Amino acid sequence: MRRNIGSYFKIPPATLQSAITISIILLMPLYDVFFIPFARFITRSEKGITVMQRMGIGMFLSVIAMVFAAVVETKRLEISRNMGGPDSQSVPLSIFWLLPQYVLLGISDIFTVVGMQEFFYTEVPIGMRTMGIALYTSVFGVGSFLSALLISLVEHFTSSRERHSWFSDDMREARLDKYYWLLAFSSALSLLSSFNERSLAELGFVLQGLVPDLSRKD
């Protein structure tokens, strides 16, 4: 992909990771200044949205980010294969097409990560709040192990003598788009499984008028 800014400077690919942190730093103040007042106006609730709703929004944004990543990677592969030749790994597609997915992941962290921290702090007894924070930090360690396991399984089941794996070093043969679709699908399943009927009923600012109050009993 094209990484040039001007004639002499090239963007190191690894620096795109910083877009997540920059997005959090720049957009976090907007959450309290704009989003929460708007949510209070819609939901008529002092908190604006509940912790579960906050995490749900973040998980939904992570699904959108993976879908966007899959679409961009599909386009890159299409251009690369149409070019052909030894230089087809470097396609005339700007690296800035990768930026929106990192920004979306940053916004997702504003909702999910901070919401998860609030959940583990407020939903445990006062005497166990230290344990709640420990459980919160352990989520990232477990997530890293599961991520490594998923990559190993994908590498094992998609590679063979006759074909390249999804993570092939040859970027013309790698199928990262399929991996992104897999992540989007698994994230969507995780989002759906995180909400029971009562949680769906609480999503009033999104599903108001569509989901009945399932917590009420006649």
What is the pLDDT, as a whole number, of residue 208?
Answer: 47
Q: Most distant CA pair in the chain: distance in Å?
A: 71
Q: How many residues are recorded in the chain?
A: 218
Token duo for residue 70: 């899959």
For the chain, where are the alpha helices, taking DSSP H only? 18-30, 36-43, 51-83, 99-122, 129-158, 176-193, 197-202, 204-207
DSSP state of 4: E
Contact 100, 32 (CB under 8 A): no
What is the pLDDT, as a whole number, of residue 15?
Answer: 80
| Domain ranges, ordered by start, for the chain | 4-114+176-207
Q: Give the Å distances, CA to CA, from 100 to 4, 16, 103, 130, 167.
A: 18, 10, 5, 36, 22
> 151 forms bridges with which residues in the sheet?
none
What is the pLDDT, as a whole number, of residue 65?
Answer: 93
What is the pLDDT, as a whole number, of residue 181?
Answer: 93
pTM across the whole model: 0.78
Query: Which residues, 6+ apart, have CB-to-CB distance to 150 below 8 Å?
Result: none
pLDDT digits (tens), the chain, 218 positions: 676 776 777 777 778 888 888 888 888 888 888 888 888 888 787 778 888 888 888 889 999 999 999 999 888 888 877 776 555 456 777 778 888 899 999 999 888 888 888 888 877 788 787 887 888 888 888 888 998 999 889 888 888 767 778 887 777 778 888 899 999 999 898 888 876 544 555 544 444 444 444 444 44
Kind of pairing between the strands at 9-10 and 4-5: antiparallel
Question: How many CB atoms neighbour CB 191 within 10 A?
Answer: 17
